[in-house]
Amino acid sequence: MHITQVTPRFPPAVGGLEEHVYQISLELLKRGHEVTVITSDEVDEKTSLPKKEVMQGIRVYRFPLFMSKAFREYWLVPDILKWFPHLRGDVVHVHGYRCLSSFIATNLAHIENVPVVFTPHGIYPPRSFANAMMKSIFDHTFGRLMLKLSDRIIALTEHNMRLLLQIGASASRIAVVPNGVNIEEYENIQRSQKTLDELGSDGPILLYVGRIDWNKRLEKIVEAMPLILKEFPSARFVILGPDYAKYTSQLSKLAKKLRVEHSLVMTGSISREKLLAFYSIADIFLLPSSYEGFGLSMLEAMGSKVPVIVSPVGGPGDILRHGVHAWLLRNSTSVEIFEAVDTVLTDNQLRKTLVKNAFDLVKAKYTWTRVVDELEIIYKQVAIGK
């Protein structure tokens, strides 16, 4: 089959959605399918990418965004209108819910009688009154039409499915297919002494991986650092990932105000090799988000045998049990984060339990091979249905 993936961003852009589309595309290629990706050219302010390239066998077409920064989360890519008729395949798989590129592609596919599989990924709550109004308008117009025109809708978790039903998706069209990881890439990584030496610390390493954004609540971890440093003076809080909304400067100012700036390390985007090195030295993975669609980096940490402390709001709450697979936060306050870190670092039996159960869970249920097994069935079903 020829699968066309439509996504707001694609590697080298960094993020859970980006990694999801990339990994399922690679796995589909391995199985003999043809994959085309239609995406924006947005990566960061410095990187310039070709409009057309072949990336490990994936044909990638990148088009410019047409949006001011204030509205860029809606991802309007007008050139899809011109190019889509030449690039469509047997199935169009659209990614990203509040994305105008998704809306355009879904409508074009429907007009041309091409089956559409739609994965909304995270359906993020509003962050302000104005943002709430815009999202409500989208949900009642573009969102509902997009859900109506999709032949199959993929929810990453049961929580994600409940949100889709509230918006107006048909229960008969929804399938739950989670995120995954390449477990072989993580399970045997060796502890990187070089990376430890570069950090210059012999204390515990607290790790966050992902984009730096408002819903991640990284400031709560910074606020917990004075308490953590009292018990673990050489601790480091390492943040890996791109800054989408200029939150890095806010975190730095907060750390300086609290006099913990020496414990905060922010690297920006890094190579895959370096990412694995940081997973190898991490003592705890922290994710105190106000909302997560799924939490792909959380799965990576679990696959790397790093104990996870996470907020259960959204996807993580569906798949993890407190004290079994992870330590689940209730309110993500600085005191609660400190207490969780202290407990996981000092209770060796708990730590071993979390690591083993989390790794076993990932290996059993959350690999890209299993994900694409399910996607192939869905693609064939919608293609036959048309």
Is the CB of residue 42 less than 8 Å from the CB of residue 17?
Answer: no
Residue 153 has a pLDDT of 97
Q: Is the pLDDT of residue 152 over 90?
A: yes
Q: Are residues 208 and 332 in the same domain?
A: yes
Q: Are residues 206 and 338 in the same domain?
A: yes
Tens-place pLDDT, residues 79-88: 998 888 888 8
Q: Are residues 89 and 152 in the same domain?
A: yes
Q: Are residues 275 and 236 in the same domain?
A: yes
Mean pLDDT (the chain, rounded): 91
Q: Are residues 13 and 104 in the same domain?
A: yes
Instruction: Tell me which of 362 and 245 has the higher pLDDT.
Output: 362
Q: Are residues 223 and 332 in the same domain?
A: yes
φ, ψ dihedrals at 95, nearest 5° = -125, 135
φ, ψ dihedrals at 283, nearest 5° = -95, -25
Residue 386 has a pLDDT of 61
Query: Of 41-45, 310-314, 342-346, which gets the smallest average pLDDT?
Result: 41-45
CATH number at residue 241: 3.40.50.2000
Q: Is the pLDDT of residue 73 over 70?
A: no
Q: Are residues 215 and 283 in the same domain?
A: yes
Query: Of 42-46, 70-74, 148-152, which gets the smallest average pLDDT?
Result: 70-74
Q: Is the pLDDT of residue 66 over 70?
A: yes
Average pLDDT (309-336) is: 93
Q: Is the pLDDT of residue 71 over 80?
A: no
Identity of the highest mean pLDDT range in 50-59, 136-145, 180-189:
50-59
Band of the pLDDT at 125, cuts 50, 70, 90?
confident
**Burial track 307-317 (b if 16+ CB lie within 10 A, e otherwise):** bbbbbbbbbbb
Q: Is the pLDDT of residue 289 over 70?
A: yes
Q: Are residues 167 and 243 in the same domain?
A: no
Band of the pLDDT at 270, cuts 50, 70, 90?
confident
Residue 67 has a pLDDT of 63
| pTM for the full predicted model | 0.88
Report how many domains make up the chain: 2
Residue 85 has a pLDDT of 84
Average pLDDT (237-255) is: 89
Instruction: Tell me which of 285 and 268 has the higher pLDDT.
Output: 285
Band of the pLDDT at 150, cuts 50, 70, 90?
very high
User: What is the residue range of 319's domain?
Assistant: 185-365
- Enter the tokens of residue 384: 């036959």
Q: Are residues 245 and 354 in the same domain?
A: yes
Average pLDDT (7-22) is: 91
Residue 276 has a pLDDT of 94
- Enter the tokens of residue 142: 């573009």
Query: Of 51-55, 119-123, 129-133, 318-322, which gets the smallest average pLDDT?
Result: 129-133
Alpha helices in the chain (DSSP H): 16-30, 80-87, 100-111, 129-138, 144-149, 158-167, 183-187, 193-199, 218-231, 248-257, 272-281, 296-303, 315-319, 334-346, 348-365, 368-385
Q: Are residues 271 and 345 in the same domain?
A: yes
Q: Are residues 126 and 196 in the same domain?
A: no
Q: Is the pLDDT of residue 68 over 80?
A: no
Give the percent of the chain with pLDDT over 90: 67
Average pLDDT (144-148) is: 93
- In terms of DSSP bridges, do strands 58-63 and 52-55 run parallel, antiparallel, or are they unpaired? antiparallel
Q: Are residues 197 and 321 in the same domain?
A: yes
